[in-house]
Amino acid sequence: LTVSGVSDLGANVNTSGIQTYTGAVTLSGGDRTLTGSTITTNGTIVGGGNSLTITGNAVFGDGTADTITGVNILSVSGNTTIHTNTITTTGTQTYGDNATSDTITLGNGTTLTTTNSQITFNGIVNSEGLETNNLTLSVGTSEVEFNGAVGGSRTLGSIAITGALDLNAAITNASSLTVSGVSDLGANVTTSGIQTYTGAVTLSGGNRTLTTTDSQITFGGTVNSEAGQTRALTLSVGSSEVEFNGVVGGSVGLGAIAITGALDLNAAITNASSLSVSTTSDLGADVTTSGTQTYTGAVVLSINPVLTTTSNTITFSSTVNAVDATDRDLTFATGTGTATFTGAVGTTNNLGTITNASGQQLTFSDAVTATTIANNGILLFNATSNKTVSSNITKTGTTTIQVINSANGAPGIITLSGNITAGTITIGTTEKSGSALFNGTVTGVNIINVVGGDASGENSLGNFANTVWVTGISLDNNTGTASVIFSGTDKTIVGTINGAGAGEGIITVSGANNTFYSTIGNSNRPAQLIINGATTFNADVQTASITTTAAISNGTILDVSGASSIGADITTSGTQNVTALVMVPPALIATL
């Protein structure tokens, strides 16, 4: 059937071959069914409120001025080519009935509109030829359902959906995708440009991968797996970013979230297996995962986030800073395993309080600028070069501070500028040395262990420039040498000092007018005591050797078992016992 003029279809038409309507078509008298091999309408269609069913293939319009309006329900069983500018129905629109063999071809950019009714594509959706045609879909409170691949062989332009999306086949090649309502992502999405999911997103049918070419993916609402499942989400945006503005995993947890690109987190990730980000991260919300969290690029904190894992590792491979001049807190919640900072922390914009909530280990390999580190576990400072930690360090429960060189050889100096309380402080291990300068007070400590490394030259040092109030200090040479220096002036030192074994460790007092209130060498005398500043001992001192260039006073007993060099006055209330060669300047002989 071929009609060169206008057609008023007041009845159904059934042909074994093609039907071609060159002029405008009007549907009258009721719903109409056109059956044939291919039904072609080269002009407009006015539905008059009637439905149109095409059994066979369909070609709508031959130019962008053509439209389909006033149709109730529109249905095509076979392939569809759309050359119209708009197709508007009050009811549903259905294209194709075989998702793998039927095709929907866009001959130009087109807009499909319903009144709160579904649009279904049961076929493969492509642009025509080498064109890149836009597809705009408006369904109100209803949804758009794709059951066949989109852009599988021919690229689409922008896909813009006003309404919901039910995606059951991949969008493999489109310029962009925007969805104003909820999205059920039952397939992967690849676009060259942006992807924007304004409403809630559900991951269904399997793990999901969303990909752009250096363009942003934005989630305006919540993101969850389908009920009873844990779906992974892989996001690849190149040089752009992924933005979460709704809670992730709040109702049904996600699997691994892997981002190739940057992260802009404005709502919490409450339940995911893991999180990895290949470039920068702006943490504007809390993150909770059962597995690891890996932040490869620089991290900024735009709120005071809490990071939680289930006995797993959190890794920061670059710097961590507050987003602006306002200090931001960073908390590692109960249950988290270890957190490792490879880059500097707070050196651009200070952090407030870094909280180690419950028995975790925090490892810092670079400088730390924060007001406080609230420790309830282990703090490890393991830089290989000189670094500064500005924070006060407080303790809750059983706590440890370790300063260990992460490489063999002489250590860099970790300068701890704030006041420190801890259960145990360890400088060096039996395998590697360590060196720490404490510029603040050190109080409330049970034991300070200074341990030399396992090779000659791996010497460990604790340098205390302020008040020290501890239970004890132990010096363990191992293969290297363990030393302490008290370099402050007018400071108080409380705590016994002993070698781990007889003759281990060196004690140096370089500051002036320091007072020691506890015994030295009462269990294992150190190898050497060096006094270069006037010093008062209010308890017994036992050492294998003593070298003085400044006065010692008020000690009860001084017991030296080895060779000594005395270059200043020594005054004690008890005995002075020196059992080996003593070198004394002539001017002092009369005073001893």
Assigned domain for 26 exists? yes
Domain carrying residue 22: 1-40
CA distance 20 to 469: 98
Contact 345, 320 (CB under 8 A): yes
Three-class DSSP category at 586: helix
| Confidence band of 583 (pLDDT split at 50, 70, 90) | low
Find the length of the chain.
Answer: 592
pLDDT band at residue 284 under the 50/70/90 scheme: very high
- Report residue 589's pLDDT band, with 50, 70 and 90 as the boundaries: very low
Q: Considering the domain boundaries, does residue 33 fall inside one?
A: yes
Separation between Cα atoms, residue 163 and residue 499, nearest integer Å: 75
What is the model's pLDDT at position 47? 98
Average pLDDT for residues 51-80, to the nearest whole number?
Answer: 96
The residue type found at 61 is: G
Digit-coded pLDDT (tens) for 324-353: 999 999 999 877 689 999 999 999 999 999
Residue 128's alpha-carbon distances to 157, 346, 349, in angstroms, are: 11, 54, 53
Q: How many domains does the chain have?
A: 1
Q: What is the pLDDT of residue 584?
A: 52
pLDDT for res 254: 99
Residue with tokens 């396992």: 454
| CA dist., res. 517 & res. 520, Å (int) | 10
Whole-angstrom CA distances from 526 to 454, 463, 546, 567, 574 are 19, 16, 10, 20, 20
pLDDT tens-place string over residues 74-92:
999 999 999 999 999 999 9
Residue 454: pLDDT band with limits 50, 70, 90: very high
The lowest-confidence range among 84-93, 521-530, 543-552 is: 543-552
Cβ-based burial of 314 (10 A; exposed 0-12, middle 13-18, buried ≥19): buried
Q: Residue 185 pLDDT more than 60?
A: yes
Q: Which residues contact residue 286 at a Cβ distance below 8 angstroms, ignoring those fewer than 6 apart?
A: 268, 269, 270, 305, 306, 307, 308
Secondary structure element (H or E) that encloses residue 504, with its range: none
Residue type (1 letter), 162: T
Q: Mean pLDDT over residues 307-323, rounded? A: 96
Question: Is 209 inside any structural domain?
Answer: no
Q: Which of 282-296, 406-420, 481-495 has the lowest mean pLDDT?
A: 406-420
User: Sign of the C-alpha dihedral, residues 279, 283, 285, 289?
Assistant: positive
Please report whether residue 5 resides in a domain. Answer: yes
List all residues 6 or more positions away from 443 whose beta carbon is below 8 Å from its beta carbon.
419, 420, 421, 467, 468, 469, 470
16 within some domain: yes
For residue 590, what pLDDT is reported?
36
Q: Please tell me the distance from the alpha carbon of residue 177 to that of residue 459, in angstroms, as a whole number.
A: 61
Beta bridge partners of 233: 208, 257
Question: What is the percent of the chain with per-residue pLDDT over 90, rounded to a whole number?
Answer: 86
Look-up of token digits 């490890």:
380
Of all residues in the chain, what percent carry a pLDDT higher than 70?
Answer: 94
Is residue 20 assigned to a domain? yes
For residue 410, being part of any structural domain is answered with: no
Q: Output the pLDDT for position 592.
A: 42
The confidence band for 402, taking pLDDT boundaries of 50, 70 and 90, is very high
> What span, in angstroms and rounded, lies between the C-alpha atoms of 190 and 487?
63
Spatial CA neighbour of 557 closest among 544, 584, 538: 538
Q: Tens of pLDDT along 22-57?
A: 999 999 999 999 999 999 999 999 999 999 999 999
Confidence of residue 562 (pLDDT cuts 50, 70, 90): low
Reply yes or no on whether the pLDDT at 460 is more than 80.
yes
In the predicted structure, residue 359 carries a pLDDT above the cut 90: no
The residues near 587 (Cβ < 8 Å, ≥ 6 apart) are none
Residue 75 in any domain: the answer is no
**For residue 190, is pLDDT > 50?**
yes
Location of structure tokens 């000690």: 555
For 440-501, give the DSSP string.
S-EEEEEEEEEE--SSTT--EEEEE-S-EEEEEEEEE-TTS-EEEEE--SS-EEEEEEEESS
Residue 568 predicted with pLDDT over 70: no
- DSSP state letters, 272-315: EEEEEESS-EEE-S-EEESS-EEE-S-EEESS--EEE-SS-EEE
Q: Give the number of other CB atoms < 10 A from CB of residue 359.
A: 16
pLDDT value at position 559? 72
Placement of tokens 């420190």 in the chain: 420
Instruction: Assess contact for 32 and 50: CB atoms under 8 A.
Output: yes
